[in-house]
Amino acid sequence: MEKKTKILNDPVYGFVGIPYGILFDLVEHPYFQRLRNIKQVSLTHYVYPGALHTRFHHAIGALHLMQQAVTSLRSKGVTISEEEAEAVMVAILLHDIGHGPFSHTLENTLINVSHETLSLLFMQRLNDEFRGKLSLAIEVFTGRYPKPFLHQLVSGQLDMDRLDYLNRDSYFTGVAEGVIGYDRIIKMLNVIGGRLVVEQKGIYSVERFLTSRRIMYWQVYLHKTVVAAEQMLQLTLWRARELSELGQPPWAPPALKYFLIHRVGSEDFVASRNQLLDCFAALDDTDISSAVKTWQHHPDPLLSYLSYGLVNRRLFRLEFSNDPFDPAYVDELRETIRADSRLPRNAADHLVIQGQETNSAYTLTKEEIMVWTKHNEVVPMSSISDFAIAPRSYTKFFLCYPKEVDGRGE
């Protein structure tokens, strides 16, 4: 008898189903429900007002695409047992469960642990709670299961994570360049020698996907105003932590206050897994937003200045450059800030932020996309003569500073 499913109406795909059983139980779990309060694309809504969708949306969408991928591969004779199908669906459902507030923005700032590490710890904790029902999913998630294509569907250059977030982020931002033929790509997937391949007739759909991904990074994820807002938020949390370490902790919700006072790394999560995971699971966007809203009125000039700017969208200017910025220009900006009475005193070193962002349409550092040719050969996509995507990374340097300073920007 076929399992019944819970039907949800997704704005991107229409009706999607969550099978009752372990998958539905995981969706109902408080750890997963927390993802409703974590924005998928951080502060991107400062530029694209519709970008308020959450990690919860994304995880459900990725599960839907994984269901399609399993069905398509099975129709081509690929052997996927019911246990394996459930495991790969659990793995994709939980792949982002370790994300902190505002997704990537505060990763390695507030908490010095990657979201992938935290996702695995959450899965291990849930495996204890569900008495081993996630063991196979953890093997798939970590790449230890002897069918590599299952892991590639979760984490690879053509995984269901990427297919969903490009399509979903394009929908909610209104940036049409991100729209991809996800359904055709899924139908063009196959398995040869235990590894995922793309049938040659799907190569142009993959090219469109890779091009869309590159455009979305520069136009959405790395939009200069988005990067400026994220840098301001990171600096705000840094200042709150600095005050905490000086014995002057600003008001904060309990979960946030814990991580402001304590510097927590991977080894701490391993040593005190359950306690720290519960504390981390209590932390979401609402905690950060409440704190920043309150900090507008904090007596510390730097913390209040940054918080007011974030709440009222008085964001820093950001300049991108293909080359590192001239140190003399950076020093000039700092001197201008020191002389400006509108800006916090003695904060010039903090208010000029330098960094760099890298974007690659197609990379050779991860396992290459393999193409199954019409001659029954499996070759790397980069070796195909009419493959138009250059496997290289593009790096831009940025300089971020208050708009009260003229600089040479807009």
pLDDT value of residue 104: 79
Burial class of residue 65 in the structure, from the number of CB atoms within 10 Å of its CB (0-12 exposed, 13-18 middle, 19+ buried): buried
pLDDT value of residue 410: 47
Give the separation between CA 11 and CA 265, rounded to whole angstroms: 37
Bridge partner list, 372: 199, 378
CA angle centred on 281, ends 141 and 291, rounded to 5°? 135
The pLDDT tens digits for 372-393 are 999 999 999 888 867 667 677 8
pLDDT value of residue 37: 97
* Domains, the chain, with CATH or none: 5-94+134-222 (1.10.3210.10), 224-357 (1.20.1250.30)
The pLDDT tens digits for 200-250 are 999 999 999 999 998 999 999 999 999 999 999 999 999 999 999 999 999
pLDDT value of residue 131: 97
pLDDT digits (tens), the chain, 410 positions:
456 899 999 999 999 999 999 999 999 999 999 999 999 999 999 999 999 999 999 999 999 999 999 999 999 999 999 999 999 999 999 999 999 998 877 787 888 899 999 999 999 999 999 999 999 999 999 999 999 999 999 999 999 999 999 999 999 999 998 888 999 999 999 999 999 999 999 999 999 999 999 899 999 999 999 999 999 999 999 999 999 999 999 999 999 999 999 999 999 999 999 999 999 999 999 999 999 999 999 999 999 999 999 999 999 999 999 999 999 999 999 999 999 999 998 899 999 999 999 887 677 767 889 999 999 999 998 888 676 676 778 899 999 999 998 766 44
Burial class of residue 242 in the structure, from the number of CB atoms within 10 Å of its CB (0-12 exposed, 13-18 middle, 19+ buried): middle
pTM: 0.95
SS3 76: coil
Q: Give the gyration radius of the chain's Cα atoms.
A: 23
Output the DSSP codes for 101-113.
TTGGGGBTTTBBS
pLDDT value of residue 399: 97
